[in-house]
Amino acid sequence: MHSRMRAKTSDFLKVLNRARPEGRIEKKTFSGRTFQQL
C-alpha cells in the first residue's frame, strides 16, 4: 500500500518537474504548502 502511494507521489512530482523546467522548482503538495528545490 505504501509503495503504491509512493509511486503515485513520485509520478506526480515527475509531472511537476516536467511542467516547470526551471532552475528553482516550486512544488505544491496536497496540503497546499510550497516546497522549493534548488
* Integer-rounded Cα radius of gyration of the chain: 11
pLDDT at residue 6 tops 60: yes
Per-residue pLDDT at 15: 79
| Domains of the chain: total | 1
DSSP state of 24: S
Overall pTM > 0.85: no
CA 35 to chain CA centroid, Å, is 9
Q: For residue 1, what pLDDT band results from cuts at 50, 70 and 90? A: low
Between the alpha carbon of residue 16 and those of residues 1, 2, 7, 35, the distances in Å are 23, 21, 14, 12
Domain around 29: 2-37
pLDDT at residue 9 tops 70: yes
pLDDT at residue 29 tops 60: no
